[in-house]
Amino acid sequence: MSFAAWAVSSLKEAGFPSIYPVNPRHSEAFGLTCYPSVSAIPGPVDHVIVCIPAEKSMDVLDDCARKGVMSVHFFTAGFSESGERSRAELERDMLQKARDGGFRIIGPNCTGLFVPEVRLTTSDRMPMQPGDIAFMSQSGGHSQDMPMHAGPRGLRFSKVISYGNALDIGECELLEYFTGDAKTNIIAIYIEGVREGNRFRSALEKACARKPVVVYKGGTTEAGLRTAMSHTASMTSSIKTFQTLCRQANAIQVSDVQELIDVLVALSFARPYPMGKGIAVVGVGGGPSVEAGDRMETVGLELSALSPDVQAQLKRLLHNDGGIFTNPLDATNLIYPDVIYNTLKVIGGSPRIDMIMYHMGFHPVTRWGGGIYSSDFFLRPASEALHKSHEEINKPVLMALGQASDMAGMDEMLKVQAAFVKEGLPVFHSIEKTGLAMARVVAWWRRFARD
């Protein structure tokens, strides 16, 4: 299926009110009237999605200018990123045409706009309830993959904008816009290159002073940079300069899309943000507990020791052989909802503990009577117990769900994830990822709250 067909069917499914397919060879598409040109459409047209070969770009823009549209999104690739001089010249002519015609260009070489509030999307699998996260992405793939993978984790978006080669609307203007956007509380960025260094520095500082900003910079190595150049014609003079800029502005830096989602989950649901680094880890299994011990220290969090009083309370609560009554805390009866609730209350009351992680593994089918986490015995009562203890201790309760490796494990993991997300809990996909996201959020919050 072409991108054009995909966009039309996605808009239709999303309930976008007025869609006009344009193709001179058809009179109907997806049950809608198809027009030979943009200017042939009756009534006003705000936004045009273009996916025809690059050579025809100027004809389309003439057509759009005649119609008096407001914005034109070019999915089409093969412009300056191709490295060919004639295509870079074509881009310049397109920009002049947009200036003359009084409209704006998004792209080229991108997937354009996703604005759930007005049902505007080019994919039918995005989370369509509006939220407060804005995402500006220089990669079209990431602009769709991120929200799709983030949806089941409970993340919702105000606007997602894929801006590709940034011919007209670029990173600075978008960042300035989101900083002032009342519907955006968190700004996420995937960026390969910066064109106006000083303007970007200023925009980033202003954004970071008002909202959490999470930045995934593609092309942080020589090889990555070479690829970024061919991907979206991006130039970054110095990787180190960019990273320093982010650090100075207090932007949260991540290294891939999954890490970006993890930090957004922490920012959205790990409330109230912890000022301290003390984390308590609870769950079943000695191996995962030892791993948690190593990983938490490696990412920069602190497995604060539990006081003798807290330890004594836990021993009474969890008395069983094979358990570990320190931090991390390992006991087989940590699968009973009332035990979970009481344990979290006891640990959460300690001033040394700033947040609590509960970890779970999803094993192929039924290791030692597994499948228990999605059972009636566990899932609803445990979700409610976790929600209630979170409310009462008023510290983040973090859910670290292990990766599944078969369909039964995945089914169980998704059920557990959905139940926890419904209770407003932050869900991560490994012990390490949980710690890494929280370490980043704590470091950001200590500076953000102080300034």
Q: Is 369 in the site for its own copies (CB under 8 A)?
A: yes
**Residue 125 to residues 14, 150, 281, Cα–Cα distance (Å):** 9, 11, 35
Judged by CB under 8 A, the stretch of 17-25, 61-69, 74-82, 350-358 that binds its own copies is 74-82
Dist CA 390 CA 208 (whole Å)? 28
- Sketch the per residue contact string, 10 through 49, with its own copies: x for CB under 8 A, - otherwise: ----------------------------------------
CB-wise, 58 or 410, nearer to its own copies? 410
CB 329 within 8 A of CB 282: yes
Contact status: 366 vs its own copies (CB under 8 A): yes
Closest separation in Å from C-beta 239 to its own copies: 10
Instruction: Check binding of 238 to its own copies (CB under 8 A).
Output: no
Output 159 or 231, the one with its CB closest to its own copies: 231
Per-residue x/- track, 257-276, its own copies (CB under 8 A): xx------------------
Residue 288 binds its own copies, judged by CB under 8 A: yes
Q: Quote the least distance from Cβ 194 to its own copies, whole Å.
A: 15
Closer of 198 and 221 to its own copies (Cβ) = 221
Q: Nearest-CA neighbor of 344 among 402, 283, 401, 302? A: 283
Q: Count the neighbouring beta carbons within 10 Å of the beta carbon of residue 127.
A: 18
| Residue range at the interface with its own copies (CB under 8 A); choices 18-26, 145-153, 241-249, 341-349 | 145-153
174 is an interface residue for its own copies by CB under 8 A: no
The values of phi and psi at residue 46, to 5°, are: -85, -45
Contact letters for its own copies, residues 309-338 (x by CB under 8 A): ------------xx-xxxxx-x--------
Shortest Cβ 231–its own copies spacing (Å): 4
- According to the binding rule CB under 8 A, does residue 141 interact with its own copies? yes
Position 250 contacts its own copies (CB under 8 A): no
At its nearest, how many Å lie between its own copies and the CB of residue 307? Answer: 15
State yes or no: residue 307 binds its own copies (CB under 8 A): no
- If we measure between CA atoms, which residue out of 304, 305, 207, 310 comes closest to residue 252? 207
The four Cα atoms 39, 41, 47, 50 give a dihedral, to 10 degrees, of: -70
Distances in Å between the alpha carbon of 303 and those of 105, 280, 448?
Answer: 51, 6, 24
- Residue 6: Cβ-neighbour burial (10 angstroms; 0-12, 13-18, 19+): middle
**Interface pick for its own copies out of 77, 113, 314, 346 (rule CB under 8 A):** 77
Among candidate residues 144, 154, 137, the one with its CA nearest the CA of residue 121 = 144
CB closer to its own copies, 101 vs 323: 323
Can you tell me the distance from the alpha carbon of 163 to that of 166, in angstroms, rounded to the nearest whole number?
A: 5
The Cα–Cα gap between 284 and 361 comes to: 9
CA distance 357 to 399: 6
- Which one of residues 187, 245, 303, 436 is an interface residue with its own copies (CB under 8 A)? 303
DSSP class of 48? E
How far is it, in rounded angstroms, from Cα 225 to Cα 230? 9
283 binds its own copies (CB under 8 A): no
Tell me which stretch binds its own copies (CB under 8 A): 112-120, 217-225, 374-382, 437-445.
217-225
